[in-house]
Structure 1
Amino acid sequence: MAPRDDSLYYEKRGKKLVSTVGLHYYTNREQYMISGNEWLKGKRCDDDLGGLWRIHDRVYDLGSFIRKHPGGPEWIQMTKGTDITEAFEAHHIKGVAEQLLSRYFVKEATTPRISPFKFNDKGFYRTLKRRIAEELPHVPKYVAQQSKLLADIIMSTYLLLFIIAASCENYYIGILAGYFLTLTVNISHNFIHQKDNFRMYYLDLSMMSSREFRVSHVLSHHLFPNTIHDLEISMYEPILYIMPQTKSFLEKSLSWLYALLLFPTLSIKAYFSTLIQERKIDIRTFIPWIPLLLTLIIARSEFLETIKMFFWIISWGSLTFHLIGKTAAHHHPEIFHDGDAARPSEELDFGVHQLDAVSDRPNIRGSLILVLTNFGDHALHHLFPTLDHSILDYLYPTFLKTCIDFGVEWKLHSSGELLGGAVKHLVREPRTTPPQSLKRKTL
């Protein structure tokens, strides 16, 4: 499919939104408050694979593999008709999946990939992946159980606080319940990246859809962070423009006020939008209402008051979730965003771009509960998203050695610096200097 003429779009909207990394402006990108389902439709249209799956320069028919996929059928079903190169590389570390692909091979691709990101065998990401694969057998097996236990405790605390707040009609306790709902959603993020499991549904308690999150966060944001293909940036437009671009004085000065007014409603909006657009009722449809039903059954609370408390808690949870998410790792004047001067195309290694688009917080390191509930160890998580967060702390020596070997910068900012930096980022102009490689060690 021929690239679109994007100049018409920029002239029409009056925004200078250009992909400096070389991504095409994808179909449906101009939609306001775009959903994950629309993002997938746009990707299918642009990748133009006729119901097949592309990995690098080969095309496969994975239809018969959907039910056999160890990670669960949803991943393969959702990505039908798209180029899944980035997802395949990031989600498979040990090399087992590559051995299975030959069974499903259909043909060689006849067009170049739309994505500019490289996976050279001797490049940074592939080298790091091999080293991490060698390190994983030495990680203690019990550590992942800690994440599961913490997730269950925090989710149970949220349910208890909800019942107490609703039965006592105490809106202060409701605010606390909203905060624990945020912690529940944040910790469920660890499990949404993994193979199908019941803890991924903890996110649905917020009224956001875990399926939608797998698209907007896992398939879009994680694979194309801080680019025009990152749905977690475009989904806020036109109320909040996160990309560095031409903005009016009003947009620059009042962006965060817009955000604070928008964030409390996003979870509620996500629930009804998903229900209307997909027209599908499944287990995810009913999960958000479990706390309300428990309260009505156990505490015999008044229905109308319980409904009011339900939306009060959801709104506070939505506000704190989006505030933490938007200031945790990706938005700071020193972090690359599409529109800034980019690296030369030959340097666009997938792993290098991930590190260009993320910053870690040293004050979050070392505490599993802080890491799980505040999106910690974010660089390693972006590089290897399917690994449980409890494992990541064991991988730093290998990660840092590889960064030194390849001269790749690992950015660090405190939580306060990222919070203030997120506000400064909204008013900045595109940077004219590309990310710099450090002095590379001779291998």
Structure 2
Amino acid sequence: MAELPPVDAENFAMRVLSQQAKSNEEAANATSSFDCEACKKSYLSKNAYESHLESKKHREAESRKQTAEANRVENKTLNAKTDEKVVSDFPISDDEAEGHQTPSAVAASTGDVTMDTDQDNEEEESGVELTLKEQQARIREINRALDLAETQEEMDALIDKKIKMSPRLPLEQCLFCLHTSDTFEANMEHMTKAHSLFIPELEYLKDLRGLIKYLGEKISVANVCLYCNGRGRGLRTMEAVQHHMRDRGHCMIAYDDEIDMMELGDYYDFSSTYPDAEGPDGSNEGAMEVDGSEASTGQQQLITGRDARLSHTGEVVVSDDQSELTLPNGRRVGHRDYRRYYRQRLTDTDTRDAALINHLLVEYADGERPMSAAEKRKAEQALMRNQPKGQWALRQMRYGHETRRANDFRTRTGIKANKLQRHFRAQVLF
């Protein structure tokens, strides 16, 4: 401390105050935390927070956050454009048409919902176009009213109102996304390629447009997944159903159970698969259906044994288990309970020609391709095995392969052994 100038009292007091301010700032920084919104992390020191901002993980998280925000804005813009589209006419009351209620006002008025038949009739008389947003708000109102309905009459009235209010998908719009094509054929091509839509029993389908229209109403009106078909959890909106089918891979038509087949039976015609019951004169007479429900109730006298007779065709015999009806011309008619088995298209036993045709079809479908080395080798061995002394030739071939492998092994071992010597040795003859 020698040879240092003295410090006056004023300068000393200023240094003490600056040191106290610095200590207070450090204490405040120690008690405060620094949060990173992108990474969802907190830091107690500023230096650690700044180091985190310069890290690679933070930059990646920030990039993902910006991308998600951009996608959110894009989806919001797309929904706004969709809301501007005017949907088909929907009846509303005259008071609502004069007041032009907003969706929020409609949603706020969902306290006690009572259904009045006269009011519904008045709503049917007025035709005012609603935007998609207003329509969705009214559908949400009906869904909440369905949860609060106590009687079957109220539920039926609400369901009828929802059916009238729900938008219908046009034939040019995809069933699984918002894509709209120019024609119905282009829409079918889009659903087949983009969503792998498969129409079951296509060769027996008689009304493709009617089937697609019915499936669209199941999605837009009933809010039912085409594959779950009411067996999964309940969905409230068409958008939720479409998201569910895309995310779960349910872009397919349920056609496994008998109930699913009967639901779509109006759009198919399987008459070509039914056996033609021709009478003696060549006319289709004597075909008789045996209804199990009628036979069980006793409303119609059951035809049994060889006592069954038809006045215009002769004798008709019913099997003992009531499952088969034999006509006079020898044809047999099966019971409708077994129709799912009769509709099976079982392939005949392959003959030489059938096997050859099938093989050619497979080759044409796959296209011509050269045989691989393994396939050529197997074909050559098969030919040699069938020739005289073929087994001996195959053994000689295998012996030659083993000899070559042994020679190659000795050569590789000798080359590696040459690398083990630690001194130079002149390669001269001894």
Greater per-residue strand proportion: 2
Which of the pair has more CA radius of gyration? Answer: 2
TM range (shorter): under 0.3
Greater per-residue helix proportion: 1
Give the TM-score, by structure 2 length.
0.18
Q: Which has the higher contact order (CA 8 A, sep 6+)?
A: 1
Give the TM-score, by structure 1 length.
0.18
